[in-house]
Amino acid sequence: MASSERIEEAYEENQHHAAYIFDPSGDADDTTRPAKRRKVSKRLDESETPSTNRSSSFQCLLQGAESKQAMKSRQETFEKLWSVVDFRIHSILRETNQSTLQEVASFLQNAPDHTPASKIPSAFIITGPNIASQGLLFEQLSETLQNEASARVVRLRSGDASNLRAVLRKIIHDIVLRDSTDGDEFDLTTSKDGRKFLNYDLEALHTHLGLIPRHNLVIIAFQDSEAFDSSLLSDLISLLSSWLDRIPFAFLFGVATSVELFEARLSKSTCQSLYGDQFDVEQTASIIDKIFKTAIAHSEAPISFGPNLMGNLLERQREQVASIPDFIKSLKYAYMCHFYANPLSFLVPDGLNSGTLQPEHIEILRCLPSFRRAVETAVENKKTFEAKQLFDDNKLIEYLVDSLQKRRQWIIKMLRILRIFTANKAINTSFADVYMDASCNGVGLSGQYDQFFDSIKRMEPCDSEGYLTRVLDTMRQGDRSLGLDPWIDEAPETVALLSDILDAIKRLRSDAEDKGHVLRSKYSGQSKILRTTVVAQKVQLSQDTAALTDHDKSYTDLIHRFLEHLKDVMHVEGAYDMPFNEVWLYDSKTPYKDVFIPRPRNVLERALSRPHDYLGCSCLLYRLYLETGSLINAADIWSAYYAVVGEDNEDGLDERTALILFYRSMAEMKAMGFVKQSRKKADHMAKLAWKGL
């Protein structure tokens, strides 16, 4: 009773109030507001390590006969080798556009000294047409400017600019959030003196910058500036320009076309408030070429990719304008597929894990097509003793390890040949295409290599001098991007021959110039002349060879010596001719295309047309849907549906249950984009998809 009396007294005291405080704890006197709790980010407990999920990431192959040790070895090998490749890729990305980044940072750091009053310093970054790769570039710019220019950088995309208030709100929010520490956020709505601010009021930003005065330069980066609404962009620039005396602003504009076309979209007054410079960056194609060399064609690359997979990767990059991170993810997925599905992949790269081999692995090795071809070749070459030795498991493992270790020698030889090949500027083929052809078919005297030798024959003396010089420089310096060390000490005969030919060409050219003669070979276009003959009042043209001087004949002999040496040196077999290439060669494009170039409509149509392969139903409504025209009468298709599943049939459904399934199925077909409500007739549906079209 006492408790009820206290409640009544409290009610009588507060009954004149306009509002009441509900306190579930029952303490009517405690009306103080609870303290605001700090937001704490969810972090992974240090005790939880990825090892808890490692057992389920890879599965035992060979129908469960693979040991857990071999399965674990495959996963560890994948993680170890990919980490090395990933480190090289990110090193390339860090080095990319470093000169441009330093120029932009220097321009903005010195902007207060050279920018006229009432003008905003602006850097116009010519990014090129690949919009998908602008994210990586502006991420590098933001990181560089924050570290070196001591600035706050806000990245804006056209999707963030629905209106002027939304843009201002994002600018203020991103700057304040970056300055927050330990998850605490500054209260922008109220200043220390009690003034109230709206969340899009630049006065709030000005007040915040006064509280943290160490880095006051604010850089607004318009990532895809040409996609912004021109009037919105002009209004934003004008507004920020009016605050320039209180907040030091600077702009970064990502321009895909040209600065002239970009300025044409803005008003004259807006353009007059900008003071900037133009900066060019490295194009995406060049970055992809560097990543290709360091991740795929590198001498220390643990696995090789076949032309089918690489062709799809590069084709998607060119035609679908995929971004650089997408290309890197594609490479990682290809690595993962090889190690996940190949039970022999733990032997990569040099077979040091051969002690993990099981009898099932030995049986697989003997069934590999490359091993069978190697045995057949040995028998054909009368090496039956070596072939019989491979029936012994120990001899087979020794042969396996030796073959895997010879792969690196094969890669180095092929890359050296390709560097000699690509040093010829007359060859317009990209390195990626040359590498794919050489790794698959080898290097010989046919195809594009025949054209390569013909181009050397037709070289002018100045061109042959430059080519020989580039070849010798490559042999002396190697190629860091491909992991090639200098090999001048390993080929002293080649170096001596090329040096002698180069010196001889220089002497012949100098002597010919002293005598007023143009040095040429018999294969040169200048050695071909046209003769005109008049026979029976008819003019006949014939091609003849001009007479060669002694210098020309000597130059031709030098070219012959050079070509003969190249034909002896430039020869290497293809990857498919190497024993046990199945261990380190991956060329399957099926999982890659299904993941990165999905075809959801084809998958849905096949699943619905053949439900016994995928689904546990008959997909009756879809079969009826295929028989309809462009307009579907809802009553007619319901009648046909119920006639098949209704109570008149064995194990039929009652009308209510059948109607529920019918409505659900129609809703699913509408969600998948097969039908929509018709505007012509209220009780009809419009058909949107036809099978196979």
How much of the chain is helix, strand and coil, in % rounded to 5? 55, 10, 35
Query: Both tokens of residue 273?
Result: 């408030």
The better pLDDT of the pair 444, 142 is held by 142
pLDDT of 26 higher than 80: no
Identify the architecture of domain 102-281 in CATH.
3-Layer(aba) Sandwich (3.40)
Q: How far apart are CA 103 and CA 120, in angstroms?
A: 18
C-alpha pair distances (Å), 298 with each of 73, 153, 576: 24, 36, 18
What CA–CA distance (Å, rounded) separates 688 from 631?
A: 9
CA distance 677 to 683: 9
For the chain, give the percent of residues with pLDDT over 70.
Answer: 84
By C-alpha distance, which of 113, 103, 176 is closest to 141? Answer: 103
* Confidence label for 537 from pLDDT (cuts 50, 70 and 90): low
pLDDT number for residue 44:
41
Minimum mean pLDDT among 149-153, 403-407, 527-531: which range? 527-531
Q: How high is the pLDDT of residue 274?
A: 92
> Residue 693 in contact with residue 626, Cβ under 8 Å?
no
**What's the distance, Cα to Cα, between the start and end of the chain in Å?**
81
Q: What's the pTM value of the predicted model, to 2 decimals?
A: 0.73
Q: What is the mean pLDDT of residues 304-325?
A: 84
The three-state secondary structure class of 677 is strand
d(CA 508, CA 551): 6
Predicted pLDDT at 370: 93
**Which CATH number among 3.30.70, 1.10.390, 1.10.10, 1.10.287 corresponds to the domain 599-687?**
1.10.10
The yes-or-no verdict on residue 151 having pLDDT over 90 is no
566-615 tens-digit pLDDT: 888 888 999 999 999 999 999 887 787 777 777 787 888 888 888 877 77
CA angle centred on 299, ends 296 and 304, rounded to 5°: 40
Give residues with Cβ within 8 angstroms of 227, minimum separation 6: 157, 158
Per residue in 255-282, pLDDT (tens digit) is 888 889 998 988 888 898 999 889 888 8
Q: Identify whether the C-beta of residue 174 lies closer than 8 Å to the C-beta of residue 154.
A: yes
Which residue intervals of the chain bear CATH 1.10.10?
599-687
Q: Are 563 and 327 in contact (CB under 8 A)?
A: no
Query: Which alpha helices (DSSP H) does 110-163 contain, by range?
Result: 111-114, 134-148
Write out pLDDT tens, residues 351-397: 888 888 999 999 999 999 999 999 999 999 988 898 888 889 999 99
CATH 3.40.50.300: which residues of the chain? 102-281
More confident residue, 5 or 419: 419
Whole-angstrom Cα distance, residue 296 to residue 304? 7
Average pLDDT over residues 125-149: 80
